Copies of this chain bind each other. A is one copy, B any other.
Amino acid sequence: ANPLKLAIIPGDGTGPEVTQEALKVLEAVSKLEKFTYTTNFLDWGGERYLKTGETLPAGGVAELKKYDAVYLGAVGHPDVKPGILEKGLLLELRFQLDQYVNLRPVKLFPGVECPLVGKGPADIDFVVVRENTEDMYAGIGGWLKKNTADEVATQTAVYTRKGCERIIRWAFQYTQKRNNPKGKMLTLVAKTNVLTYGHDLWWRTFQDVQKEFPDVKADYNHVDACCMWMVKNPEYYDVIVTTNMFGDIITDLGAMIQGGLGVAAGGNINPDKGGISMYEPMGGSAPKYTGQNVINPIAAIAAMSMLLEHSGQPAAGARVMKAVQTITGTKMKSQSAGKMGHGTKEIGDLVVGAL
């Protein structure tokens, strides 16, 4: 078989440190599962931007199309104005590579402290499928009479039938495959009672597509209610499909109930033929912890597991995920930076040992 060709963007702050642990685990699992891979490192991120003024370098998208998948550590630099790298690099890649599925499992691993009373790993195990290319993220808007007392500003959410349909259908297929023994259910999370144009399209599309999946229960929650249930009854959910903006919000809430940004990972997936997907830990670059060997690499390793799962190495992905859960369940004191009971590198070694 051909080697798995990976582009690695370690990024800023602690990004490179956690990426290193993810790569350590990749190396180990590749031997055990007998596959080969190549890595090519790209120095995109805050440092490069400060030197060259470039966020996504010219030709960057074409470059990424040479790989099977992209791994991203973290971008975000204290000397770069907030928004620049997020929009210029992270969102730009999601859009340019048409990574329309933002896949964010919300799973409480064994041993991980949960901030919710009385909830354990059996209660917190669902998946959010966030649309990743439309909505308020379109960047469409403007100002009238800017900087006057009469200023009006707009920001327009744009949704397309194509965009809704492909993510909803993908989410139904995913729910079907996930095959939850408690019952297959896909919950649409939106705000149909207020966003009566945009979310009406979501609603109608959801109604149409669900007919193709008679074995999946089609469910609906308003976004505000969803935030309540995620805290009160997270066990209610199987798979959630939602818009880009609401997905941003509920997946961070999800990250918190699964133990925080130290463990939460996500995939930006283009599932179409030839599509290039990108996997990342959900946390930021945490500049203050840089170089101290204290940051939690579990999220980064989980992101590598997702990459493998979705890039033709599902057995390797599952093996990594199992090793991760062994370590959180038996060896870690906490998932917070500096309180893990081990350093960043040692956690990486422990996961390798558990493979």
Q: What residues of chain A have their CB less than 8 Å away from a CB belonging to chain B?
A: 82-83, 86-87, 91, 113-117, 136-137, 139, 141-143, 147-162, 191-201, 204, 223-225, 227-228, 231-232, 245-246, 248-253, 255-257, 260-261
User: Which residues of B are found within 8 Å of A82, using beta-carbon distances?
Assistant: 192-193
Q: A83-B196, A115-B116, A201-B151 are in contact. Are A253 and B256 (CB under 8 A)?
A: no
User: Which residues of B are found within 8 Å of A86, using beta-carbon distances?
Assistant: 193-194
CA distance in complex: A29, B194 (Å) = 37
Please classify the interface of chain A as helix (H, G, I), strand (E, B), loop, or mixed, using the class held by over half of its residues.
mixed
User: Which residues of B are found within 8 Å of A249, using beta-carbon distances?
Assistant: 223-224, 227, 246, 249
CA distance in complex: A150, B164 (Å) = 11
Q: Which residue of B lies closest to A197 (CB)?
A: B141
Q: Which of B87, B114, B194, B224 contacts A196 (CB 8 A)?
A: B87
CA distance in complex: A200, B154 (Å) = 10
User: Which residues of B are found within 8 Å of A231, using beta-carbon distances?
Assistant: 115-116, 231, 253, 256-257
User: Which residues of B are found within 8 Å of A141, using beta-carbon distances?
Assistant: 157, 195-198
Indicate if the CB atoms of B256 and A227 lie closer than 8 Å. Answer: yes
User: Which residues of B are found within 8 Å of A87, using beta-carbon distances?
Assistant: 193-194, 196
CB distance from A32 to the nearest CB of B (A): 35
User: Which residues of B are found within 8 Å of A245, using beta-carbon distances?
Assistant: 191, 194
CA distance in complex: A157, B249 (Å) = 17
Q: Which 5 A-B pairs have the closest CB atoms?
A: A141-B197, A155-B198, A224-B252, A153-B201, A151-B161
CB distance from A166 to the nearest CB of B (A): 11
CB distance from A88 to the nearest CB of B (A): 11
Task: Give the number of times this chain occurs in the complex, counting copies.
Answer: 2
Task: List 8 contacting pairs A-B, 8 Å CB cutoff, sorted by A.
Answer: A87-B194, A141-B197, A151-B160, A152-B160, A153-B198, A194-B245, A232-B256, A249-B249
Q: Which residue of B lies closest to A252 (CB)?
A: B224
Q: Which residue of B lies closest to A90 (CB)?
A: B193
Q: Which of B115, B154, B201 contacts A157 (CB 8 A)?
A: B154
Q: A153-B197, A194-B87, A228-B252 are in contact. Are A161 and B136 (CB under 8 A)?
A: no
CA distance in complex: A261, B231 (Å) = 13
Q: Which residue of B lies closest to A231 (CB)?
A: B256
Q: A160-B151, A192-B82 are in contact. Are A197 and B142 (CB under 8 A)?
A: yes
Indicate if the CB atoms of A199 and B155 lie closer than 8 Å. Answer: yes
CA distance in complex: A107, B142 (Å) = 38
CA distance in complex: A93, B113 (Å) = 44
Q: A117-B117, A162-B149 are in contact. Are A194 and B228 (CB under 8 A)?
A: no
Indicate if the CB atoms of A154 and B197 lie closer than 8 Å. Answer: yes
Q: Which residue of B lies closest to A244 (CB)?
A: B194
Q: Which of B115, B199, B204 contacts A232 (CB 8 A)?
A: B115
Given contacts A147-B204, A148-B161, A156-B157, 11 further A-B pairs with CB under 8 A are: A82-B193, A86-B193, A91-B194, A115-B117, A116-B117, A143-B200, A155-B195, A224-B248, A227-B256, A228-B256, A231-B253
Indicate if the CB atoms of B150 and A158 lie closer than 8 Å. Answer: no
